[in-house]
Chains A and B, each alone.
Chain A
Amino acid sequence: MAANPAKPIIEVLKQIVSKPYTMEYPENRESLTDNYRGVEKLDMKTCISCSACARICPNSTITMVDVDTDKGAKVMPEINIERCLFCGLCEEVCPPKCLVLTKSYDFERYDRREFVKRPEELD
């Protein structure tokens, strides 16, 4: 026997009076979980230039580049976010915990070259 023909209309009416599922993006953000992995952030003051992040990175995303600091020239990670798979291994191996994954996920750019982040940009 056919189902109740009024049922779909009742369901749609319920949907109309309930809250929408979507949110207007730039103003309202989804609440993220604590272990969300977004764009990397580097604390240049505590970085010890150990290159552990560059070695463990599975996509070879991280290259160590020369940076001028107040304590002289050092090597620090330069990250190509375009190739990053946000696995969080660099964050795990970093001895002073200066390289962390933040909750930020909006890093869209018009030019793909802008995805290569210098250590100064990551700070």
Chain B
Amino acid sequence: MEISSPFIGTFFAAISSLLSNYLNGTALAAVSVLAALVIFLIALSIIIIAFSYLFSWLERKVVARAHGRHGPTYVGPFGFLQNLADFVKLLSKEHIVPSSAERPLFTVMLPLMFGLFVIIMAFIPFTNAFVGINTSLALLAVFVLLSFSPLLMFLIGWTSGNKFSSISAQRSVIILVSYEIPMFLVVLAVAMLAGSFSLGSIVGMQNTGWFALSMPIGIVVFFIVLLAELERPPFDLRDADSELIAGWLVEVSAPYYLISLMLDYTRVLVGSLLVSILFLGGWLGPAPIPPFVWLMLKVALLTIFIMVIRATTVRMRMDRVLRLGWAYLMPLAVANLLITFMLFIR
């Protein structure tokens, strides 16, 4: 296991040669690693912010078109700056914490959860060179970190001291926990097929053929489970606004609401990155287009598909969601695992 990547490594070498005149030994190494990490985080945050902005704008446009409406049009060309205006509005509003909320936990949980997903992003390779933490156990790390999210989400809803938030948080925990099992079974099949837990080598193994073609059941199950894990429609019981108002975000006021929006978009980014890396060949593609663009192209198509599903489906009832998870997806995931084992491993 190596905790360094070519991306950080190049910056490390450049910064360390730059600083070698002024510093010596361990101080030099520490400062160079820190500077390289800061540069990586800046690159990552540019990706996250750009994706969040484009996704939120495009989602408003696509859903509006699906309804036969125009969507945002006035602010900027095609309403492109509407979300910037909304962000400025949200940032300029007061941050209110209700008196019944557990103040320290409530204020710290949402940024913590956002941080969790940024850490997950650091494990996900964008190309062979652009990786934050390049370990051979990246697949395990990503999904272990992902399984922390129900806990944090429950704490956000519970500590806000509102019954709607509490109900919504309980719903998310139930969905996230019960859909985690089929997800892990599919991921296990992927790891089995690739013979590795490293995301880089999983993509490398798909040089001969995408895993989506090797296990068509797997990608369907994984995509449905992913929609539940991201709590996108039709699994958006978390914020069923006709019953629970805004769900777990009832007491979350403006600047924190902005963080929660960013969090949801980052989750979509993580989810579509995972699908494209595990099943759609990641950054592999014909030569003229660079690998990073290939990956982003696949992510863009997946996110547009997620938006179209949002515009198409209605919210599922709680018992049906659980029934779908336990009675259909779970056996399908097991079947996928067995079929993969029999066809490709034995």
- Residues of A whose CB lies within 8 Å of any CB of B are 8-9, 12-13, 15-17, 20-24
| Count of residues in B whose CB is under 8 Å from the partner chain | 14
Question: Cβ of B66 < 8 Å from any Cβ of A?
Answer: yes
- Chain A residues, CB < 8 A from B66: 12, 15-16
B73 and A16 contacting across the interface, CB-CB below 8 Å: no
B200 shortest CB reach to chain A, Å = 33
Q: Apart from A15-B65, A16-B66, A20-B68, what are 18 other A-B pairs with CB-CB below 8 Å?
A: A8-B313, A9-B309, A12-B66, A12-B308, A12-B312, A13-B308, A15-B66, A15-B67, A16-B62, A16-B65, A16-B308, A16-B311, A17-B65, A20-B64, A20-B65, A20-B69, A21-B68, A24-B70
Chain B positions within 8 Å of A15 at CB level = 65-68
What are 12 A-B contacts defined by CB distance under 8 Å? A8-B312, A12-B312, A13-B308, A15-B68, A16-B62, A16-B311, A20-B64, A20-B69, A21-B69, A22-B68, A23-B70, A24-B73
Tell me whether chain A's interface is mostly helix, strand or loop, or mixed: helix
Residues from chain B with a CB closer than 8 A to the CB of A16 are 62, 65-66, 308, 311
Which chain A positions have C-beta within 8 A of B73?
Answer: 24
Once bound together, how far apart are the Cα atoms of A108 and B64, in whole Å? 27
Please state if B308 and A9 are interface contacts (CB–CB under 8 Å).
yes
Task: Give A11's nearest chain B residue, CB to CB.
Answer: B312
A12 to chain B: which residues have CB within 8 Å?
66, 308, 311-312
Most buried by B among A20, A22, A23: A20
Name the residue on B nearest A14 (C-beta). B66
* Chain A hits for B309, CB < 8 A: 9
With the chains together, A72 CA to B140 CA distance in Å?
A: 95
On chain B, the residues within 8 Å of A23 by CB distance are 70
- Nearest-neighbour CB distance to chain A for B234, whole angstroms, equals 11
Q: Write the chain A residue with the least CB distance to B313.
A: A8
CB distance from B312 to the nearest CB of A (A): 5
Question: Looking across the interface, which residue of chain B has its beta carbon closest to that of A13?
Answer: B308
